[in-house]
Amino acid sequence: MSQLYAVCEIQRAIQVKFKATSGSPMLLSMLNGHSTLTKHILYFFGLRWLHWNFPGVLLSLESQVKIFAPNIEQRDVVNHLKGSPTEEKRNVLVESARLARGNIQDLAELKASEFDAVIFPGGFGVAKNLCSWAVDGKNCTVNEHVNSTLQAFHSAKKPIGLCCISPVLAAKVFPGCEVTVGQDKNVDGRFPDAETASAIAELGCKHICKNVNESHVDKANKIVTTCAFMCKAPLHEIFDGIGTMVQEVLKLA
């Protein structure tokens, strides 16, 4: 029961691939709090780990993982039994430590010079805790440490991967970039948040329509995106899309 509760209380991640001193790649994952839409957190985390660590898929079993999270207060805390916010206050770093089993660091300590690439898996926590998109849409503000992390990797010409709702971070921070959140129309009811594509275009970026099992590579900016749970699709299709995104990021790293 406590493990299931922990999964429900945690939201999304930033993953980064890091070159360890031994020469084997080290992966970093940063979690960012919870929201009312947390049922897919275990999927995101599990699918990413499978693509990173399953032998013969993308990385060798010599790969390691480090986890970071911003040390900030969550925008809200949700009673998942009632499906509504409570008056309780929780910290994103503390809550994220549940999924990380305590092996986690403050995002403020992250040094881009030590890493090869960064990946933002997405989820509603991105829209509520990493930025204010859930409330302000295209007029949102981005958390200062998230902004500086994105800017640092971009300036160093290191690849940035984003999936689900997290491509809006790139759209906000890098005007003119290319990203995908799936389709710009609610095709067959599979893309209920298709209006996000229009908001991205209004920010001066180019939205590229892609299926859930695909990703898009903005070669000029080294930004790789996939829509993941922005599409109502079977889990194996979402898995495939995440896989292509991770694979393309690693190619650029």
The residues that are catalytic are 164
Using DSSP, state whether 30 is helix, strand or coil: strand
Angle at 68 between CA 63 and CA 74, to 5 degrees: 145
SS3 content of the chain, % helix, strand, coil (to 5): 40, 20, 40
Q: How many other C-beta atoms can be found within 10 angstroms of the C-beta atom of residue 226?
A: 34
**Residue 209 CB partners (closer than 8 Å, separation 6+):** 180, 182, 183, 184, 197
What single-letter amino acid sits at 241? G
Half-sphere exposure of 135 (CA within 13 A, CB side): 12
Question: Nearest to residue 121, comparing CAs of 234, 30, 205?
Answer: 30
Please give the full DSSP string across 206-219, using - where no structure is assigned: EE----TT--EEET
As a whole number of angstroms, the distance between CA 39 and CA 137 comes to: 22
